[in-house]
A and B are shown apart, each in its own frame.
Chain A
Amino acid sequence: GAGVSQTPSNKVTEKGKYVELRCDPISGHTALYWYRQSLGQGPEFLIYFQGTGAADDSGLPNDRFFAVRPEGSVSTLKIQRTERGDSAVYLCASSFNTDGEQYFGPGTRLTVT
């Protein structure tokens, strides 16, 4: 596709449930980033992939959060036992290489009730 796409655009789930958020990066981009943006704040770094491997996962808040990128393209952010504090917009970005400009997707708005 022409840009980074994310699905679903909106997700409402109950506290304690498991959710998966998907990111399709720009074709050919080797680097992929996940960010979380709370209302009225700037995005916060979660995890960065170079190819299939997570090169930096220091931003993941706890072990309920996990992300994969098995084939070096599409990535899935997984959140177990969701809590109301997980409610936010989850942004994905990709770049051609490690130092390249990051292009952002529209985000997935997660609401935990």
Chain B
Amino acid sequence: KNQVEQSPQSLIILEGKNCTLQCNYTVSPFSNLRWYKQDTGRGPVSLTIMTFSENTKSNGRYTATLDADTKQSSLHITASQLSDSASYICVVSAKSGAAGNKLTFGGGTRVLVKP
């Protein structure tokens, strides 16, 4: 069964500090991996997307890494801001042919940035 596991479940950091979120997956056949940011009461918004051949991707203060051999990914947030408070969801896409790009979602890491 395809699974995506994230850690930690939640964390609290002080404004201006850095943090790293982890994602392990067992999705096959692998197509790509995305990190989404989900604000409370909103739908997820894509931050980064990486395919098998990419091992790092940045989007502003967000940097994602991918190790396709160990099936691990991380999302690093640099110089956190209060607006970074949200859930961060790791999403792995499996190639499913005519059935589309089926996504398997992790449970998310809830980040709270405090002043």
Contacts from A to B (Cβ < 8 Å):
4, 31, 33, 35, 40-45, 48, 50, 55-56, 91, 93, 95, 98-107
A31 to B99, CA, bound (A): 10
User: How many interface contacts (CB-CB < 8 Å) are there between A and B?
Assistant: 65
Interface of B is mostly: strand
For window 32-64 of chain B, which residues contact chain A by CB distance below 8 Å?
34, 41-46, 49
Q: Contact: A102 with B99, CB < 8 Å?
A: no
Contact A56 B43 (CB under 8 A): no
The answer to the question of B89 belonging to the interface, with a C-beta cut-off of 8 Å to chain A, is yes
Told that A31-B100, A42-B107 touch, could you supply 10 new A-B pairs with CB distance under 8 A? A40-B107, A40-B108, A42-B108, A43-B44, A56-B96, A56-B102, A91-B44, A95-B101, A99-B101, A106-B43
The residues of A that contact B91 with a CB separation of less than 8 Å are 42
Which residues between 9 and 45 of chain B lie within 8 Å of chain A, taking CB atoms?
31, 34, 41-45
Q: Which of B45, B96, B99, B110 contacts A104 (CB 8 A)?
A: B45
Q: Cβ of B44 and Cβ of A104 under 8 Å apart?
A: yes
26 contacts between A and B (CB under 8 A): A35-B105, A41-B107, A42-B89, A42-B91, A42-B105, A42-B106, A42-B107, A43-B105, A45-B102, A45-B103, A48-B99, A50-B98, A50-B100, A55-B98, A56-B100, A91-B43, A98-B100, A98-B101, A99-B100, A99-B101, A102-B101, A102-B103, A103-B46, A104-B45, A106-B41, A106-B43
Task: Bin chain B's interface residue count.
Answer: 20 to 34
CB of B75 closer than 8 Å to a CB of A: no
Within 8 Å CB of B66, what residues of A?
none
Interface, chain B (partner A; CB < 8 A):
4, 31, 34, 41-46, 49, 89, 91, 96, 98-108, 110
Q: Which residues of A contact B99 (CB under 8 A)?
A: 48, 55-56
B42 smallest CB distance to A (angstroms): 5
Of all chain B residues, the one with the shortest Cβ separation from A32 is B100
Whether the Cβ atoms of A42 and B4 lie closer than 8 Å is yes
Question: Which residues from chain A contact B42 at a C-beta distance below 8 Å?
Answer: 106-107
Cβ of B33 to closest chain A Cβ, rounded Å: 13
